[in-house]
Amino acid sequence: MGRSKPSRNSQARMTQPFPFSAIVGQDEMKLALILTAIDPTIGGVLVFGDRGTGKSTAVRALAALLPPIEVMEGCPYNSATASKDCPHCAEAKPTRQVSRPTPVIDLPLGATEDRVCGALDLERALTRGEKAFEPGLLAAANRGYLYIDEVNLLEDHIVDLLLDVAASGENVVEREGLSIRHAAKFVLVGSGNPEEGELRPQLLDRFGLSLEITTPTDIAQRVEVIRRRDAYETNTAAFLKRWRAQDTRLRKAIVAAVRRAKDASDDSFKIPQAVYEDCARLCVALGSDGLRGELTLLRAARALAFYEDAHEVTRDHLKRVAPMALRHRLRRDPLDEASSTTRVERAIAETFGD
Amino acid sequence: MTDPLSIREQVRWATRLLAVDPNGLGGIWIRARMRPTGLLRDLGPMRRITPNTSDEVLYGGLDLTSTLAAGRPVRSEGLLKHQSSRLCLSMAERAGRRLTARLSMALDQGRGPAIIALDEGIDDERLDPGLADRLAFHLDLNDLHGTKEDPPADMTGIEDAAMRLADVHAPDEILRQTVMLAGHLGIDSLRTPVLAIRAARAAAALAGRKSISEEDMTLAATLVLAPRALVLPGDEMPEQAETSKPEDNPAEQSRKQENDVPEDLLLEAVKAALPPGFLDQMVARNRVRAAKGARGAGAQKVGNRRGRPLPPRPGRLDASSRIDLIATLRQAAPWQTLRRQQTPDHPARVLIRPDDIRLKRFEEKSDRVLIFAVDASGSTALARLAEAKGAIELLLAEAYARRDHVALIAFRGAGAEILLPPTRSLVQAKRRLGSLPGGGGTPLAAGLEAAGRLAELVRSRGATPSVVLLTDGKANITHDGNADRPLAAQDAERFAKLLTQLDLPLAVIDTGNRPQPQAAQLARTLRAQYLPLPRADAYTMSRAVSEALQS
């Protein structure tokens, strides 16, 4: 009595997240995620915003949008080739490649270091007395995304560890008599609600792009959000079908941009000297510490140029990505009221005189 | 719907709607000191979880004890895998972020069971807002008295309704009205209107309608939107402090404009459907809650799980402990031959018994919580409240750099109030401090008591408290709230002595116009560092306080 069967939709929802193109508004967040898909070296994305603004939806949608990756069969580290650097492939020597969706791994709060880095395989150690490594979430996220909801509540030592691995692209485990290293190249996406605690400035700076998002305030837009969400939840298959074309177009655009980025590694694609200077001037005007700001700004602007199939990076590209690349790098008085977005915009206007 | 829905009827409706669409509606948050037996009975069988439920139980995993006994891996099935079941989270107010984040994740992915959160909290203790946001129905049964057995909810036609769900049409007008109404009630999260629509759809399916009607929507708004209301339409929010500032929040403005639209039928319908006074009550409650801010979840520490390693110790594996494998294997090694002789056919290569298990231990320095107890009485307010605020801001900035948590207590008028529970959020601390009004008597005893209580609470959660008291020491309100200067001084001394028994680092900052003998005396009683607030030099003071508390 009173127990219903699982709705016939839930099966589809488990495998098919909300389509990326169907997300209403939040253009800056969508752009940031697309840019990191084009150039993962931009670094992670940090999204700060209130509850129910679609942070998690966007990240999970991105996974479905991205083209699948080719991995060696059975490899828990998502290796593209059977190289001897991969702890699995070096032993198992798989021969077949299979394609797998781009991994987007959820890192839950309270995850232990064991779970994140991997640890001694308990099952094998206790039942068979073998010393074997059980890969953790970092291995699973290799060549994909690692998503941390409420990153500001994650314990500091785990965040440190994640950022280190994200920066070096390699996870090194040295404990319990194990010595393992494996590739862990992923884009870190963190989200959080600033009301509930902040991130240390040292950590803020390590994220490539940062965003502050709010719920749409326009009634028509809010209605549209509800309408699409409702359509998705009631009839997932039909909704996905309706948005497939747009998602496919977006995927093609990303794939094309990635290809252009690859081709451009020889020097058919130039970044004008003036753009380098603009970068430096903007960062100096804002007083951002270190050179990470400049580098990220440049990379993001270049990714945007690839995405839009431009011939070269222009000041316009720079201006459009500057807020997301710089707003978290301002040396701030923690008690300053002015929002950092406003400060970046002001600096852009002053530096470029328009 | 002519008669207002009583709480009992709301409960029965929530039960029925959840049964129709458990995946879409997420669950019910029930605040009740007494177990709502009738409701739980109507919801049907469910699995129980507690705040301590481990990941193995939620996601499934290796069942260590059985594995060791059987000599082959025995896996337990995770509770979150069962799609059609329901999970009952008891003591939900105690559930930490670790658990609620996992449940929220399962709900977001549209899989896993519906969650019935039984929240037995008093006052400020409550379910994590992140999870609460995802549960459609919020029911407060604390005011429900009487012992009479509730009639069971009518659970007929549920299965048919569940099958019809996807065919129910949601007209645009209904969607628009829901969003507007949510806006009028001050609800920012977009999850809420989505849940309201889902509830309305379930109601329509239950009634056999092809399209959501006004009646369904009224019911859904009554059940889903009304309990979350922050604003009563047509009244201005008294202090805009809670959401962001009005000038940079166009939502606020558009909302105000919308308020001018007189004909809001849905709202009227909802008001009519609710018991008289229900909405006002809800709004008052939620506002207090919003003002108290998010629970400082960062402050809660389950146990010491990191830090400098200590030698392992024998023990039972549970959610909060980690096995030290090497030590465990080492412990088991000498017995292998003997055990093999006893059980020659055991399939495992290494024979381990549960009492071989060694757990890891760590020693860790716990977080520090800086408790500011601020005298905001008239005598201080006139002279130095602004300067004291400036000094606190500086200390806050320092605390932020050191990753300390801060808490804020204000005492004025008849008593003391915790303005900000321990948190790391500077934004909140600043906001609370900025809006701290001054004036009234000096209930020093109450202030000392509140500081002591909070310090004890902080300590019980495994952190280290220190107290900074900002006052001129001129107590004139007794502990029970009467204006009687001599008695107030006695009370203050009594509570000061109690506070010293907690053995905390303490500092007293004299906020009087010139150094006050009473404040100096208080510092002596407290055996605390005494710092007269030097003229207009907040920096010196913040440094002095840091030094005083370091020692």
- What letter would DSSP give residue A86? S
Per-residue pLDDT band for B196 (boundaries 50, 70, 90) equals very high
B446: closest CA of chain A, how far (Å):
28
Q: Check if A292 is active-site.
A: yes
Residues B429-467 pLDDT 10s = 777 777 777 778 888 888 888 998 898 888 877 778 888
Say if residue A154's pLDDT is above 70: yes
Ordered DSSP codes for B168-213: -B--HHHHHHHHHHHHHTT---SHHHHHHHHHHHHHHHHHT-SB--
Question: Do B426 and B527 sit in the same domain of this protein?
Answer: yes
How close, in Å, is residue B449 to chain A by CA atoms?
27
CB contact under 8 A, A108 and B71: no
* Residue numbers in A near B21 (CB within 8 A): 4, 7
Same domain, B276 and B167: yes
Query: B328 with B433, same domain?
Result: no
Contact B190, A51 (CB under 8 A): no
C-beta atoms of B306 and A155 within 8 A: yes
What letter represents residue B103's amino acid?
Answer: L
Q: Is B150 among the domain residues?
A: no
Residues of A in contact with B176 (CB under 8 A): 219, 223
CA distance B525 to chain A (A): 34
Contact A80, A70 (CB under 8 A): yes
Domain end marker among B100, B135, B170: B135
Element (H, E) at A202: helix A201-204
More confident call, B166 vs B544 = B166
Q: How far apart are CA A141 and CA A188, in angstroms?
A: 9
Residue B197 and residue A226: Cβ atoms within 8 Å? Answer: yes
To the nearest whole Å, the CA of B355 is away from the closest chain A CA by 14
CA distances from B133 to A148, A149, A324, B189, B245 (A): 19, 15, 28, 8, 23
Residue A107: list chain B partners with CB under 8 A. Answer: none
Amino acid B128: pLDDT = 83
Averaged pLDDT score across all residues of chain B? 76
Q: Closest to A215 (Cβ–Cβ): which among B44, B84, B188?
A: B188
Identity of the amino acid at B224: V
Pairwise CB contact (< 8 Å): A4 & B19: yes
- Joined tokens for residue A42: 């931009």
Residues 6 or more apart in contact with residue B546 via CB below 8 angstroms: B395, B398
Average pLDDT over residues A216-222: 84
- Is-contact A272 A316, C-beta < 8 A? no
Least Cα separation, residue B456 to chain A (angstroms): 22
- For chain A, which residues make up each domain, given as ranges? 43-66+101-214, 273-352
> Could you tell me how many CB contacts below 8 A there are between chain A and chain B?
220
| Distance (Å) of CA B168 to CA A12, A281, A302, B159 | 19, 58, 48, 15
Determine the Cα–Cα distance for residues A207 and A166; give it in Å rounded to an integer.
10
Nearest to A150 among B68, B97, B352 (CB): B97
Give the nearest chain B residue to A194 (CA atoms): B425
Cα of first residue to Cα of last residue in chain B, in angstroms, is 67
Confidence of residue B363 (pLDDT cuts 50, 70, 90): low
Measure CB to CB from residue A1 to each of B155, B170, B176 and give the nearest one.
Answer: B155
Q: A216 to chain B: which residues are within 8 Å by CB? A: 190
Q: What is the mean pLDDT of residues A268-288?
A: 82
Q: What's residue A219's pLDDT?
A: 83
The model's pLDDT over B475-514, given as tens digits with 9 standing for 90+, comes to: 888 887 777 888 888 888 888 888 888 778 888 888 777 7
Q: Between chains, do B250 and A217 touch, taking CB under 8 Å as contact? A: yes
The token duo for B241 is 């402090």
Between chains, do B111 and A14 touch, taking CB under 8 Å as contact? yes
Closest Cα to residue A108, out of B359, B360, B58? Answer: B58
Calpha distance B488→B496 (Å, rounded): 12
List, in order, residues 6 or more apart from B37 with CB less than 8 Å away.
Answer: none
Do the chains contact at A219 and B101, CB–CB below 8 Å?
no
Q: How many CB atoms lie within 10 A of CB B16?
A: 22
* Interface with B, mutate which of A5, A15, A26, A109 (most B CBs under 10 A): A109
Burial class (CB in 10 A: 0-12, 13-18, 19+), A155: middle
B152, part of any domain: no
CA distances B524 to A37, B64, B86, B504, B507, Å, are 63, 56, 58, 14, 10
Note whether B352 contacts A126, CB cutoff 8 Å: yes
Give the pLDDT of residue B299: 34
Dump strand ranges (E) for A73-153: 97-100, 104-107, 118-120, 133-135, 144-149
Residue B49: inside a domain, yes or no? yes
CATH of domain A273-352: 1.10.8.80
State yes or no: pLDDT of A62 exceeds 80: yes
The answer as to whether B337 is a domain residue is yes
Decide: helix, strand or coil at residue B461.
coil
Q: CB neighbours of B85 closer than 8 A, spacing ≥ 6?
A: B45, B46, B47, B79, B113
Q: Where are the alpha helices (DSSP H) in B293-443?
A: 325-332, 336-342, 378-383, 385-402, 426-434
Measure Cα distances from B215 to A141, B15, B245, B272, B273 in Å.
48, 18, 36, 12, 10
Mean pLDDT for all residues in chain A: 80
**Domain harbouring B413, CATH code:** 3.40.50.410
Q: In this structure, how many other beta carbons lie within 10 angstroms of the beta carbon of residue B189? A: 18
User: Which residue carries 């809670």 as its tokens?
Assistant: B242
CA distance B139 to B117: 10
B115 DSSP β-pair partners: B27, B87
| Amino acid letter for position B226 | A
pLDDT in tens, A2-19: 334 444 444 444 467 888
**B148 is a domain residue:** no
CA–CA dist B443, B414 (Å, integer) = 6
Domain region containing B64: 27-135
CA nearest to A153 within chain B: B298
Q: How far apart are CA A158 and CA B480, in angstroms?
A: 47
Token pair of B65 as six digits: 């004890």
Q: Is the pLDDT of residue B287 over 80?
A: no
Confirm whether B141 is domain-assigned. Answer: no
Question: How many domains is chain B partitioned into structurally?
Answer: 4
With a cut of 60, say whether residue A273 has pLDDT above it: yes
Strand, helix or coil for residue A217:
coil
The model carries a pTM of: 0.69
Nearest chain B residue to A50 by CA distance is B189
Among residues B370, B391, B371, the alpha carbon closest in space to that of B511 is found at: B391
- Closest CB to B428 among A3, A106, A195: A195
The shortest CB-CB distance from A195 to any of B44, B401, B425 is to B425
Complex-level ipTM: 0.74
Q: How far apart are CA B109 and CA A56, in angstroms?
A: 10
Which 3-state string (H, E, C) describes B206-244?
HHCCCECCHHHHHHHHHHHHHHHCCCCCCCCCCCCCCCC
What pLDDT is attached to residue B503? 78
Distance, in Å, from the CA atom of A207 to the CA atom of A204, rounded to the nearest integer, reads 6
Cβ neighbours of residue A110 under 8 Å, at least 6 residues apart?
Answer: B96, B97, B98, B99, B101
Contact B326 A222 (CB under 8 A): no
Query: Which residue from A120, A197, A227 is facing B425, i.e. has the nearest CB?
Result: A197
Query: Among the options A60, A292, A315, A332, which is catalytic?
Result: A292
With CA atoms as reference, the chain B residue closest to A227 would be B175
Are the C-beta atoms of B175 and A223 separated by less than 8 Å?
A: yes
The alpha-carbon gap from A10 to the nearest alpha carbon of chain B, in Å, equals 6
Superfamily of domain covering A43-66+101-214? P-loop containing nucleotide triphosphate hydrolases (3.40.50.300)
Looking at the predicted structure, is the pLDDT value of residue A347 above 60?
yes
Task: Mark whether B356 and B442 lie in a shared domain.
Answer: no
Q: Tell me which of A1, A4, A229 to substitute to probe the interface with B (most B C-beta atoms closer than 10 Å).
A: A4
Residue of B nearest to A17 (CA): B109
If asked whether residues B354 and B409 sit together in one domain, one would say: no
* B313 falls within a domain: no
Interchain CB distance below 8 Å, B350 and A126: yes
CA geometry: angle A204, B127, A107, nearest 5 deg: 40
CA distances from B477 to A229, B125, B474 (A): 56, 29, 9
Are B395 and B538 in the same domain? Answer: yes
**Contact residues, chain A, for B256 at CB < 8 Å:** none
Q: Point out the least confidently predicted range of A181-190, B54-63, B122-131.
A: B54-63
DSSP string covering A109-128: TT--HHHHHEEE-HHHHHHH
Measured CA to CA, the distance from residue B531 to residue B510 in angstroms comes to: 6
- Nearest CB among B15, B84, B198 relative to A6 is that of B84
